[in-house]
Amino acid sequence: MDNMSLYLTIALAPLFGSIMAGLFGKWIGRVGAHCVTIAGVAVSAVLSAWVLYGFATGQAQVFDQNVYTWLTMGGLDFSVGFLVDSLTAVMLVVVTSVSLMVHIYTIGYMQDDPGYQRFFSYISLFTFSMLMLVMSNNFIQLFFGWEAVGLVSYLLIGFWFKRPTAIFANLKAFLVNRVGDFGFLLGIALILGYFGGSLHYGDVFGNAPTLANATIELIPGQEWSLLTVTCILLFVGAMGKSAQFPLHVWLPDSMEGPTPISALIHAATMVTAGIFMVSRMSPLYEMSSTALNVVMISGAITALFMGFLGMIQNDIKRVVAYSTLSQLGYMTVALGASAYGIAVFHVMTHAFFKALLFLAAGSVIIGMHHDQDMRNMGNLKKYMPITWITMLIGSLSLIGTPFFSGFYSKDSIIEAVHASNLPASGFAYFALVASVFVTAFYSFRLYFMVFHGKEKWREAKHDHHDDDHDHHHGLGPNDNPHESPWVVTLPLVLLAIPSVLVGLWVIEPMLYGNFFKDAIFVNTEAHPAMAVMKEEFHGVLGMVAHSVQTPVLWLAIAGVFTAWFFYMKAPHIPAKIAASVKPIYKVLDNKYYLDDIYYNVFAKGSRALGQFFWKVGDTFLIDNVLVNGSAKAVGALAGVVRRMQTGFIYTYATVMVLGVLVLLLWWFRSLFGI
């Protein structure tokens, strides 16, 4: 198989499964739908692993070739093409392996859902869209994949379309992402207009150095760096897709969709599209320290302040959702520190342990008969041992426990920020270090509330909102939870393995070798963080030994201990703290009032502005003044003129005499100067 056939197979195999399940699901049935989609994603996953192996061993070469040109306009070619390098290979493995686990998991989770075939069609279509995004070699195909994953996420978040909350959530996600995508499209337009008239990555990156000092006037008389404006506009797209402050508000509500898509889209793949895009654009971002500062500040705010929101959530899926937001903030800060390789490394480790956490949360929901409120749980360790141990592994990796995958990537990000020379690095370092404690606290708050302590479902009233089904469930006082079936627990076990080991396997070659040499560009003279990191790295054991000397490890331990004390030893304390700082708790409970601001200021304001233009501009000025007004004016004038047409000769004679007198008067005035 030649390279072109190999990459076409990787991209198109999930699309084939999606078409079969979507168009022919009625005929092939449930078993046929999940078999054909799993087979398609499995083929992509195996071939993607082969591609990554080739780059890891140095056998594979960078592939950059167009598949076909679908439009030529004014000398500009719009093509479908593949750029496969080490960065692409990593993303291919992340997307396809997590997608494969989610496909298998879905068999058990969605077994009673009437939209079974449709769901499998959607998640395979999403996988295809994400593959087209990460394999693109030009901005047009990147934008196609970008919009396609947005469309499929809209369909999946609103999968239970009969529920008003699901429709509200998918509309919110769609609209917020349109804001980000508008900025993204403006950035692409600037590239098309100023970077040599080409949208191919190689051409754009090649022309970038000639535009280092180019400026653009956004406001007359105010010159801005062209590269800075372009990079910031592209990052606005990443802020929407990767849920960065202040365009993060859609992601928590996206938990209205079924749990498998929470793991697939909003933990491991779609939300990392922005991280991938900025990493791919590293030759542009390295030429603008201003843009890197903006990226770093946005990520730091997201990492810390979204973590605060995770501390007070009671819905098990929303806790994991806010941890996703916080971890995306970590990745974004790494991008701002020019540590693109570390950001992608965290994308990889996070994909496995966050998918594990989401799927484990789904397993808990199954065991609790679709009760998602952690206040109704407790002591599930006794009834769900596989879910318990895998959730513990995922949580330990998330908080950066030494020898777990999350430790290597998370600590590397903090060290990179510490080594950065950007003005924003001081604030970012403080935010990341503080969020270490916050992450450990809310992660083990969930763990202790769910798996240890009293069996609270026995006295629960079950008046919670059920996010995963149209009907309300919950355990009765005489019921017990149960472990999930093997199609649910097998993906948990398979995801738990890389959640522990993948960081150990790949940290040295990926971060401190030449793995990304052809994919990521870093100007080490201007942004020396990675160079400093490489000098200070002395192996995995040295990294673990160093962690003991930093506040990061001790803050994580303090967070775990605090969660244990508050929820196992003195469970009355959290309520007292919440009451004593009621204004702060209210701000957190209302998510910093950003939803209210967006709704009351932007949504209602836009509607009020539209009504003003409609009633004043359209109805009054255009309809009543210009259209109807001109017609009425002509009618009134005609009415006056009509009265002058009496039909009598003496009237016309009188008018003629008066006209002659006027002419004579004018003649005398002009003749004698009167």
Residue 466 has pLDDT above 70, yes or no: no
Residue 458 has pLDDT above 80, yes or no: no
Average pLDDT, the chain: 86
- How many Å separate Cα 13 from the centre of its chain? 25
Say which residues have a Cβ less than 8 Å from residue 433's Cβ, sequence separation at least 6.
414, 551, 552, 555
DSSP 3-state of 161: coil
Average pLDDT value for residue range 107-136: 89
Residue 236 region, left (φ>0) first, then alpha (ψ -120 to 50), else beta? alpha
Predicted local distance difference test score (pLDDT) of residue 562: 93
**Identity (one letter) of the amino acid at 563?**
A
592 versus 12: which is more confidently predicted?
Answer: 12
Q: Where are the beta strands (DSSP E) in 85-221?
A: 215-219
Task: List the one residue out of 331, 308, 345 whose CA is nearest residue 414.
Answer: 331
Tokens of 291: 């843009």
Q: What percent of the chain has pLDDT over 90?
A: 33
- What is the pLDDT confidence band of residue 667, given thresholds at 50, 70 and 90? confident
Tokens of 617: 């501009």
Predicted local distance difference test score (pLDDT) of residue 627: 81
Residue 158 has pLDDT above 50, yes or no: yes
Predicted local distance difference test score (pLDDT) of residue 496: 92
Predicted local distance difference test score (pLDDT) of residue 414: 93
Q: Is the dihedral of CA 96, 99, 101, 104 positive or negative?
A: negative
Average pLDDT value for residue range 550-555: 91
Task: List the one residue out of 503, 320, 284 whose CA is nearest residue 413.
Answer: 503
Is 550 exposed, middle or buried, given 0-12, 13-18 or 19+ CB atoms closer than 10 A? middle
Task: List the one residue out of 546, 501, 550, 537 whose CA is nearest residue 403.
Answer: 501
Distance CA 473, CA 458 (A): 14
Residue appearing with tokens 């998640």: 123
Average pLDDT value for residue range 114-123: 88
Kindly report the length of the chain. Answer: 674
Pairing of β 76-84 and β 222-225: unpaired
Q: What percent of the chain has pLDDT over 70?
A: 96
User: What digits encode the pLDDT tens for the residues 406-424?
Assistant: 999 999 999 999 999 999 9
User: What digits encode the pLDDT tens for the residues 300-337?
Assistant: 999 999 999 989 888 888 898 889 889 999 999 999 99
Q: pTM here?
A: 0.86
Q: How many CB atoms lie within 10 A of CB 340?
A: 27
What's 192-208 look like in SS3? HHHCCCCCEHHHHHHHH
Predicted local distance difference test score (pLDDT) of residue 463: 47
- What is the pLDDT confidence band of residue 464, given thresholds at 50, 70 and 90? very low
Q: Which residues of 56-70 are buried (b: 16+ CB within 10 A; e: fewer)?
A: beeebeebeeeeeee
Predicted local distance difference test score (pLDDT) of residue 614: 85
Predicted local distance difference test score (pLDDT) of residue 617: 82
Average pLDDT value for residue range 465-493: 69
User: What digits encode the pLDDT tens for the residues 285-302?
Assistant: 999 899 999 999 999 999
User: What digits encode the pLDDT tens for the residues 342-373?
Assistant: 999 999 998 889 889 988 998 898 888 888 88
Q: Where are the beta strands (DSSP E) in 425-506?
A: none
- How many Å separate Cα 427 from the centre of its chain? 23
Q: Which residues of 596-612 are buried (b: 16+ CB within 10 A; e: fewer)?
A: eebeeeeeeeeeeeeee
- What is the pLDDT confidence band of residue 475, given thresholds at 50, 70 and 90? low
Average pLDDT value for residue range 551-559: 92
Predicted local distance difference test score (pLDDT) of residue 470: 43
Distance CA 318, CA 157 (A): 14
Q: Where are the beta strands (DSSP E) in 414-468?
A: none
Distance CA 92, CA 87 (A): 9
User: What digits encode the pLDDT tens for the residues 26-56?
Assistant: 888 888 988 999 999 999 999 999 999 998 8
Give the range among 83-97, 183-197, 494-508, 639-653 with minimum mean pLDDT.
639-653
Identify the DSSP state of 315: B
422 versus 220: which is more confidently predicted?
Answer: 422
How far from 168 is each of 115, 159, 317, 371, CA to CA, in Å?
20, 12, 18, 21
Q: How many CB atoms lie within 10 A of CB 369?
A: 18
Predicted local distance difference test score (pLDDT) of residue 457: 76
Q: Is the dihedral of CA 171, 172, 173, 176 positive or negative?
A: positive
Report whether the peptide linkage leading into residue 260 is cis, meaning its omega lies within 30 degrees of zero.
no
What's 521-556 look like in SS3? CCCCCCCCHHHHHHHHCCHHHHHHHHHHCCHHHHHH
Task: List the one residue out of 365, 125, 398 whose CA is nearest residue 259.
Answer: 365
